[in-house]
Structure formats: C-alpha cells, structure tokens
Amino acid sequence: MKENITDFINLDEKLKELKFTPESDFYILPENIETAKSSEDLVFTETTTEIKKYLNQNGVEIQVLQKGGLKLRQRKSVDFYAPLIFVGFTMLSENSTLLTIGINVLSNYVTDYFKGTFGSKNVKLEIIVETKPKKEYKSINYEGNVDGLKDLPKIIKALKNE
C-alpha cells in the first residue's frame, strides 16, 4: 500500500471558472478537473455511476459534479480505478463519521468487484480534501490492495490538523 499526499489546485476557483456550485461536501469529481477548460470537457472514471449508486443505496449520499451527460473513460486494466472523490472541510470537521462509512462502503464494493478473480487486486483512488475552506486542498493518491483502504479515514482526518 502506498499513498502520496500532494497540494492540489484551488478547487473553489476552478469550480467557479467552470460555473459549478456544489450542493454538498462529498461528491465525485471528473478525473480531469485540473485541466478542463469547460464543463463539456469533463471526463469521469468508468466506475463513477456504479460507485455513486452503490454508496447511495448504502446510506452514503454522494453527488456527481456534472452538467448534462457523463463522459466516461474506459480502461483495459485488471486494476480497479475508483472515481475522484472530494471531501469538503465541513464534512471533515463536522461529519467525519460519514467519511469513514463512505470509505468502508467503497471498500465493500471493491471487495465484491474482485470476488472470483486471481492475481493482483490493485485499487487506485484519489481523494481531494479541502483542508482550509475555499483556500487549500490536498490530494491523496492511494494505490494498493483493498485492505489498505481502511487506513484512509485516519490519513484524511489528519490533514485537517496540519
């Protein structure tokens, strides 16, 4: 398991540029949010629809940041690519339990996804965390097995205190 934490663009400014006003603190972002010039350019990971549906069915309300239809990127890989997930400062500060539940539900989904498969069961996930309201954002890139996902809530919560 490895996770890499780096600075991320000012997401608030980027969303204003793309004319988005998110209604929650927990949503799925397009994987090309950093480089998109307009909302028509946005591309999502192919698992976006299934993950959103699965999380919502399991009591974790998550939205997809989109206008119009979804453009999905297909990959030919044995790895599982999770969608880019945003965790806002309010959720981090006031409702971090939902974050833990969300990661656990995602972990359950990925475990089911790999059932009956052999060989490496690698998960790739990026989470964007708002560490200072509308000012500072961090990116956590996780690559490893499903079991390592359980450590992510602690890592995410620790970013709040930096």
Taking residues 93-122, report their average pLDDT.
90
Cα separation of 123 and 51, whole Å?
14
Residue-wise pLDDT tens digits, 29-70 = 999 999 999 999 999 999 999 999 999 999 999 999 988 888
Lowest mean pLDDT among 28-42, 70-84, 133-147: 70-84
Cα separation of 78 and 99, whole Å?
27
pLDDT band at 141 (very low <50, low <70, confident <90, very high): very high
β-pairing verdict for 2-8 and 136-144: antiparallel
The whole-chain average pLDDT of the chain stands at 92
Do residues 67 and 30 touch, judged by C-beta distance below 8 A? no
Question: What's the pLDDT at 161?
Answer: 61
Question: What's the pLDDT at 42?
Answer: 94
- Does residue 76 or residue 110 have the better pLDDT? 110
Q: pTM, whole model, 2 decimals?
A: 0.91
Element (H, E) at 11: helix 11-17
Query: Which burial class, exposed, middle or buried, applies to 27 when counting CB atoms under 10 A from its CB (0-12, 13-18, 19+)?
Result: buried
Q: At a CB cut-off of 8 Å and minimum separation 6, what does 9 contact?
A: 33, 34, 137
Question: What's the pLDDT at 67?
Answer: 85
Domain ranges of the chain: 2-160
Question: What's the pLDDT at 117?
Answer: 86
Which of 104, 56, 50, 58 shows the shortest CA–CA distance to 82?
50
